[in-house]
A and B are shown apart, each in its own frame.
Chain A
Amino acid sequence: MRDIAFGQYYPAKSFVHNMDPRVKILLSIAYIVAVFLVAPFHYLGFAACLLFVIIATLFSKVPFLRILKSIKAVLFFVILSAVLQIFFNTNGNLLWSWGIIKITDEGLFNAGFIVARITLIVMGASLLTFTTTPVELADGIESLMYPLKFIKFPVHDFALVMSIALRFIPTLIEETDRIIKAQKARGADFESGNIFRRAKALIPVLIPLLISSLRRADELADAMDARCYSGSDKRTRYKKMKITYRDVLGFLVVAGLITGVVFLNKFYILITVL
């Protein structure tokens, strides 16, 4: 349970760590857009995105292996979509068939395309969470959602809920570990049986977990009350977010990436001719 690499903050002092969280969030979204902009069969666009991730990782001091490991979290999803494409895409030229299974060249191309897309997106997104603490992320999102205030959306409360949720993930993992152990000691079996039996075996874990979460929520609310938390607009910030030269630079690089991808989409043929 503890080995979830995806989304765990990697503490370091680096160019990327010091960027404004708001800018990092926006740039990550822009990067994802860039990955989606890459048109089928224009693989140089993916190469550009990969180059960007590698450069950004170098500037973030996060070991590249960690970024790669974060793919493990979505590996099942990646393989599933690839397999679906390979076996069930019936368009294009038939390469090989056996009974109802038909493998076509388009299926293979699509599978590669989807795998590249998901992997690149996960790598970029995990770079964001590796270099930004959960608190910074929540602050960044709150600040970015500020315009929603004008339609009476409770932005501050929403951000608070989010940061509390993030804060309690490790606590809940620990708690789950403990309850699983306690029920295992009473003979609970989580590893054998079919999927329904396994799902049923989780009830003795989920109910105590739910109850302890409710208890924690109560205690937290009391603790916040005791310190006069009111969630008003008058609250000031301990850490002010500031846009610096780093953010401008980051913006320019990502803008360059998107332009590059669009350019490669349009002039791919031209480049291959040259």
Chain B
Amino acid sequence: MRIVTENLSYVYSEKSKELAVQALNNISLTIEEGEFFGIIGQTGSGKSTFVQHLNGLIKVGKDKGSIVIGDFNLTDKKCDFKSLRAKVGMVFQYPEYQLFAETVKDDVAFGIKNFFPALSEKETEEMVKTAITLVGLDYEIVKDKSPFDLSGGQKRRVAIAGVIVTRPEILVLDEPVAGLDPQGKREFTELLKNLHKTTVKTIVIVSHDMNFVSENCTRVAVFSHGELYAEGSPKEIFSDFTRLKELGLDLPVTAYLTEKLSETGIKVESDITTDGFSDAFAAAYIENKEKRRREE
């Protein structure tokens, strides 16, 4: 399913003049099926408002543009939001705060019971088991535990299992690694990559972690003050140093290094992933060495 938004705008508290905030302004963005799409921007730049539109948690206002996802026209009042939400999964910041059921199994099954009430107990359990295994937990060990007895990282995994259990085609994540330790972040990144390869077709992720974005995303959008500031591959986006810094955004380490090296006269051309950068750097290093030897 393709996501197409056109001239999307949103204003918080539109009715009262003194409190009105223009959160989104004329956003036109197309996300193709199969992408690992990153959204970056400062706090308050409209990223979260934008992604909440994608499964109808925030409805498109009158004359505020349009969103079409696959066959769903979200601008249409008669749009079946329930079916849409089964197709577009949404993981919020600190997703573990949404756990509520007595057992892990019940909590993960919540989505299935809502979206596909006709499924049998057995089919439901099968889907729950798949989801819990996918997020890297042992189904037999955790299924009857209370979600509140798990560790922080495990809770987050259960919460994500509760979203992917309905097998959404698009997974939207709003800063999912906030508050995780380095190992947790690494494991989480692996989990996302794995999901992207196996079950979820498209991933849209809001992140403050530029290394994560440059490493994994196929395309990146930069939001600033409710507007779409730039859009392109990580390489294109992160090559514009000064402007990104003006927006208060960080750069991935590889982009910093590329910049520093070019100041000393060494040009490293890479796609700024760690692998790409180190290969390109090694090549440049060898070339430089040979050049010097020849000069001697």
- Indicate whether A and B interact: yes
Contact B57 A187 (CB under 8 A): no
Given contacts A186-B110, A186-B114, A204-B110, contact A181 B52 (CB under 8 A): yes
Given contacts A181-B52, A187-B86, A189-B114, contact A208 B148 (CB under 8 A): no
Contact B99 A185 (CB under 8 A): no
Contact A179 B148 (CB under 8 A): no
Contact B90 A203 (CB under 8 A): no
Interface size class of A (residues with CB under 8 A): 10 to 19
Contact B98 A182 (CB under 8 A): yes
Interface string of B45-57 (1 = CB under 8 A from A): 0000000100101
Contact A207 B111 (CB under 8 A): no
Residues of B within 8 A of A212 (CB): 97
User: Min CB distance, B168 to chain A, in Å?
Assistant: 10
Residue from the list A185, A189, A208 in contact with B100, Cβ < 8 A: A208
Contact B111 A187 (CB under 8 A): yes
Q: Is B243 an interface residue when CB atoms closer than 8 A count as contact?
A: no
Contact B97 A185 (CB under 8 A): no
Contact A179 B97 (CB under 8 A): yes
Contact A187 B115 (CB under 8 A): yes
Residue from the list A178, A179, A182, A188 in contact with B114, Cβ < 8 A: A188
Interface string of B5-36 (1 = CB under 8 A from A): 00000000100000000000000000000000
Residues of A within 8 A of B157 (CB): none
Given contacts A204-B110, A208-B99, contact A185 B115 (CB under 8 A): no
Closest residue on chain A to residue B102 by CB atoms: A207
Q: Is A183 an interface residue when CB atoms closer than 8 A count as contact?
A: yes
Other 18 A-B pairs with CB < 8 A, given A183-B98, A203-B100, A204-B100: A2-B13, A181-B57, A182-B95, A185-B55, A185-B57, A185-B85, A185-B90, A186-B85, A186-B98, A186-B110, A187-B82, A187-B110, A187-B111, A187-B114, A188-B110, A208-B99, A211-B97, A212-B97
* Interchain CA distance A182-B162 in the complex, whole Å: 11
Residues of A203-262 contacting chain B, CB below 8 A? 203-205, 207-208, 211-212
Interface residues in chain B, defined as those with a beta carbon under 8 Å from any beta carbon in chain A: 13, 52, 55, 57, 82, 85-86, 89-90, 92, 95, 97-101, 110-111, 114-115, 148, 162-163, 166
Given contacts A178-B92, A212-B97, contact A184 B111 (CB under 8 A): no
User: Min CB distance, A234 to chain B, in Å?
Assistant: 38
Residue from the list A181, A204, A207 in contact with B92, Cβ < 8 A: A181
Residues of B within 8 A of A208 (CB): 97-100
Residue from the list B98, B100, B101, B166 in contact with A187, Cβ < 8 A: B166
Residues of A172-205 contacting chain B, CB below 8 A? 178-179, 181-189, 203-205
- Choose among A181, A182, A189, A208 the residue with the greatest number of B CB atoms under 10 Å from its CB: A182
Residues of A within 8 A of B86 (CB): 187
* Interchain CA distance A179-B162 in the complex, whole Å: 14
Interface residues of chain A: helix, strand, loop or mixed (majority): helix
Interface string of A1-44 (1 = CB under 8 A from B): 01000000000000000000000000000000000000000000
Interface residues in chain A, defined as those with a beta carbon under 8 Å from any beta carbon in chain B: 2, 178-179, 181-189, 203-205, 207-208, 211-212
* Interchain CA distance A204-B99 in the complex, whole Å: 8
Residue from the list A2, A184, A204, A207 in contact with B57, Cβ < 8 A: A184
Contact A185 B110 (CB under 8 A): no
**10 residue pairs from A and B, CB less than 8 Å apart:** A181-B92, A185-B55, A185-B85, A185-B89, A186-B98, A186-B114, A186-B162, A204-B101, A208-B97, A208-B100
Residues of A within 8 A of B99 (CB): 208
Contact A184 B97 (CB under 8 A): no
* Interchain CA distance A203-B110 in the complex, whole Å: 12
* Interchain CA distance A2-B95 in the complex, whole Å: 22
- Choose among B92, B97, B162 the residue with the greatest number of A CB atoms under 10 Å from its CB: B97
* Interchain CA distance A189-B111 in the complex, whole Å: 11
Closest residue on chain B to residue A210 by CB atoms: B100
* Interchain CA distance A99-B49 in the complex, whole Å: 55
Residues of A within 8 A of B148 (CB): 211
Residues of B within 8 A of A211 (CB): 97, 148
User: Min CB distance, B52 to chain A, in Å?
Assistant: 7
Residues of B within 8 A of A178 (CB): 92, 97
Contact A189 B163 (CB under 8 A): no
Given contacts A184-B85, A185-B85, A187-B111, contact A179 B57 (CB under 8 A): no
Residues of A within 8 A of B55 (CB): 185
- Choose among A178, A186, A189 the residue with the greatest number of B CB atoms under 10 Å from its CB: A186
Residues of B within 8 A of A186 (CB): 85, 98, 110-111, 114, 162-163
Nearest 3 CB-CB pairings of A with B: A187-B114, A185-B90, A207-B100
User: Min CB distance, B106 to chain A, in Å?
Assistant: 11
Closest residue on chain A to residue B95 by CB atoms: A182
